[in-house]
Amino acid sequence: MAVKIFYTNIQKDRYAESDGVVPADLVTVADGKCAARVTLNAVPGDVSGTVYAEIPAVMEGRITSFALRLNGGTPAGQILLTTVSPAIDVIGAYLYVFGEEILPATIGPAMYRKTNMRGTYFCTDRLNTPQKIFAIIVGGSGLEGITADVAMLADTH
């Protein structure tokens, strides 16, 4: 069954925790719809300007649509999605890439975007950071420290 998850066109209030508090990393994008706000960090030991962001996710599923809008800077390069944090294991981060070629959009606002994704299955339950995926921006120098808003849709079981 397809389930819309984390930071799409669902109202922020639906993500409130049991005490009624909405997580601080949710931001309103438009019409009450929300996105996850993440910060881009430098990949340790990488001198080429590659950055990454940690993104909350369900334990397993398939991402069908992904978008990341920078709050400063210009989109360049491509995004790779992985289940291993580059901060923990930079080689493993590239070995466990499950989504690639998420490029700057040529239509609409400046952002990275890819839709109709087919083979982007992932599972994080046996990894160092369960329920997290990581977006690595390769070729996007000068983006360290910039915040970005992430919206994604996924199929889950």
The domain containing residue 10 runs over which residues? 2-155
Task: For residue 14, give the DSSP letter.
Answer: G
Spatial neighbors of 20 by CB under 8 A, at least 6 apart, are: none
Q: CA 139 to CA 118: how far, in whole Å? A: 24
Kindly report, residue by residue over 112-155, the tens digit of the pLDDT.
999 999 999 999 888 888 889 999 999 888 899 999 999 888 88
> What is the count of structural domains for the chain?
1
The structure's pTM equals: 0.84
How many angstroms separate the most distant Cα atoms in the chain? 44
CATH number at residue 149: 2.60.120
Kindly report, residue by residue over 74-109, the tens digit of the pLDDT.
999 999 999 999 999 999 999 999 999 999 999 988
Q: Which amino acid is at 139?
A: G
